[in-house]
Structure 1
Amino acid sequence: MRCALCKREAELEKSHVIPKFVFRSMKKESPTGNMRLTSQSNKKVQDGDRQKLLCGSCEDLFNEDETLFANRIYHKYRADSLKEFEYEEWLNRFITSVNWRNLYLDIIGFVMEKNIDPYRLDILIQAEKIMRDYLLKERDNLETIENHIFFFNPISEASDSISDMHLHTVMGGSAFGYTFISYHHDSYYVFLNLQGLIIVTIIKPAQDDSWKNTLVQNEGQLNLNKPQYITTPLFSEFEYLAQQRKQAMEQMSEKQRIQIIDSIKKNPERYKTSKAFEQLQDDLRLKRINDNKRNN
C-alpha cells in the first residue's frame, strides 16, 4: 500500500487521526473513566479513530512534533498552568500534520460520496498538496494557508441561545475535527478541537474573517493574558455541534444514565474535582447570568 504522505509503497501503520495523548487525557479526566461519542451516546469507547495512513518513517516524522505540543502546550493547558509560550516550527508542523490527516481523509470521502463540486474539490486538493509538501520539508511555507490556535476559556457573556448549548462541556469534554466549508462565504477550514484547545487551518478565509492573537507561524510567542478575538463562519459549526450533542444526550437510554450516576456515586470526590464538573459549573454560571438579565 502507498503511504498517504510520502507516496512510497510500504507497510502502513494504523495512525491516530486525533493524537492518542488527547484520548488518554479524556479518560483520565472523565468522572466515570469512560468516553462516549456524540453520535452514539449509549456506546462507550476506549480510543480514537485509527486509519492505515502512514509508513513507519512518516509516522516517526510526526511523533517529535506531537510530543513537543503535548508537553509544552496541551498538558499545561489542561492543568490550567499555561500562561504564555514560545514556539518554533514544530507548532506549525504539528497543526499542519493533524489537520492534513483530516483533510486527506475528507477529500477521499467527498470523492466517494460525490457530494462536492469540482471547483471546491480542487481548492481542497491543492491545499492538501501544499500541506503535504510542507510536512515533507519540500517547501518552507504554506503559501496563503494559515494555522491558528485558539483557547476556549470560560465565557463571561453570551446570547440566550448559546448559553443553553452547554458549550463549556461540549468543547472542553470532547475531541473532534474535520474539513468545514462555508458555502455562503466561499471559505474553507480544517479544524480540530482538543478539549477546548482549538487548532484551525484556514485554507481560504471568509471576507469578514478576523483572528486576533491566534496566528501560528514558523516561530513566535503567544501570551494567553492577551485576549483572543475571532469572527468566522466556523463558529456556526461549533454551535451546530453543541446542538447535536444536546440532542444525543437527551436520547441517551435510561440504562446508560443510571450507569453513569452509579459510577459517580461510587467516587463522588473524583467527580467534584473533575474537569467535567468544572465545565458543568461554567455552563450553569453562564445560564444564571443570562436568566438574571432576562428577569431584570
Structure 2
Amino acid sequence: MILSEGRVEPSTIPTLYILDICVVNATKLSEEALEANARKAALVKSLRDLDKPHNSISYFLALLEKTFDPRASLSVEELEAQILNDVATMRRFFINAKIDESDALLIGIMRAMKRQPCDPEQDIHLEFLRDVNSLGLANPVARANRLEMARKILEKADSLSISRQHPTVLLTLGSLYGNVNARKVIKFKADTNVFSAENAFADISIILRFLQFKFKTEESSDDHGRSYKRIQFLTDDIGLAGVLECFMGYEERVVGQDGIYQTMTGTYEIDFASLVTEIDKGPSETPPTDRRNVRLLSEYDLLYDMILGRPNLIHIQL
C-alpha cells in the first residue's frame, strides 16, 4: 500500500484515509486468495493496522473512479448496487474506523454526477494523448532529441487550446524525461490501437479530484467538528502514488458570481523539477558583462521557459 504523503505511524494521528478502487477491492479478498498473493496479503495487513477508532475511511475517490470509468457500461441501478456492496464490505472489514460517508450521500453524489453532461474538455485531452502517443513516446527518446520532442508536445497542446501548464501536458513531459511513475500512469504504447487514452486521462483526473477533495475537506474539517487532522490517499498503484508526490498544493478562488451560483477556479502547485527526472538541471551561468558572450541555459531552464517562466514551482490555473 502506498501512502500519498509518506509513511506515518498510523496510531499517532487521527487520519482520514481515502481509498482508491484497488484498495477497496482488497477488502473483499478471501483468506484463500490472500494466501496465494503475498502482495495483496501485505496490503490487507496494512489496512487492518489502520483500523483504529480515531481514524476514518472515505470511499469518495473510489466512487469517482467507478462513476467515470471509461470502460464501464453499467446502468445507474447496476452501479448503485456495486457501490452499496463495496461500502457494505468496507463496513464489515473496518471494525473500529468509521466509514466517512453514508450510503445515501454516496448514491446521491453518483446520481448527480451521472446527470451531468460529459466534461467538454475530455475529448480534447483524449485527442492530445493519442496524438502525442503517435510521436513514439512508448520508447525512450534520445537525450539529444528530447527538447525538440518537448517542443512538438507543447505545440500539439497549443493547437488544441490546452494550457501548457495542464497536468495532462506536464505528465506527458515527465514521461518524455524519464519519470518512471509518469510513464506508468500514461502507459504510452508503440501500437496506437493498444494505447488507452481514456485510462490515462482517468488517472490524471483522479489526481486532480483527490487534491480538490483534500483541500475542501481540510478547509471544512474544523467547521464540521471532524476529528481527523490528516488526510492521505491509499492506492495500490505505485505510479499514481509517485506522481501525486509531485503535486504540492491546491487553492480555490471565486472568479464569478451569478445570483447564488459561484464560478470557482482551482490552482494546483507542482514541483516540476521532481517531475522531469532525467534532465540537465545544472545552474545557468551568470550573465557576463561582455555582451559578446551569450548566457548558457540548462535544458531544464529552456524547457521551463517554454512552459511558463523562471521559478521552480509551477502554479496551474484550470
Instruction: Name the TM-score class by shorter chain.
Output: under 0.3
More strand by share: 1
TM-score (norm 2): 0.23
